[in-house]
Amino acid sequence: MTSTNTALTGASALTHFDAQGQAHMVDVGAKAPTHRIAVATGRIQMRPETLALVESGTAKKGDVLGIARIAGVMAAKKTSDLIPLCHPLALTRVAIEFESAGAHVPGATGVFCSATVETVGQTGVEMEALTAVQIALLTIYDMCKAVDRGMSIHDVRVAEKHGGKSGSYVVG
């Protein structure tokens, strides 16, 4: 993993705790708004027959990827309702993309998901991107579980982020 940003420099880098060790929402009021972007990725592993149903659009519950895309967008918008210390954000863009997991992990059978989330604000959108990926993949699981209960979700992570005081971070 390569980063254009420095790693954590000890416990003082944990911003969701005050001097007494109590959890709190970080005060971002004095921070200047900047254009912020985060991309999160992950994949769902499934049997080849299940993937064929998803790709053909013939799954019993309908357009699996279309529904998962909408679920991911909705999840990004609701992140602050799910993660207690996240700020509610005015998102300017949420894009959910799907492709074959084999394009990213040789031999993998399943769906790779990428969520790009943007805002102009005082705090980043990494949590929104991560939430979007997880919910999109969980939606795929929900829609396909009748034919493949052995599906599994893997490798969910922030692939890149840009903007704000800490600058850019890109997984290499």
Contact 132, 73 (CB under 8 A): yes
* Burial class of 165 by CB neighbour count within 10 A (0 to 12, 13 to 18, 19+): exposed
Give the Cα separation of 45 and 66 in Å (integer).
18
142 is catalytic: yes
Give the Cα separation of 3 and 169 in Å (integer).
5
* Burial class of 67 by CB neighbour count within 10 A (0 to 12, 13 to 18, 19+): middle
Contact 118, 96 (CB under 8 A): no
Furthest C-alpha separation in the chain: 56
Q: Of the listed 18, 27, 63, 142, which one is catalytic?
A: 142
Active-site annotation, residues: 142
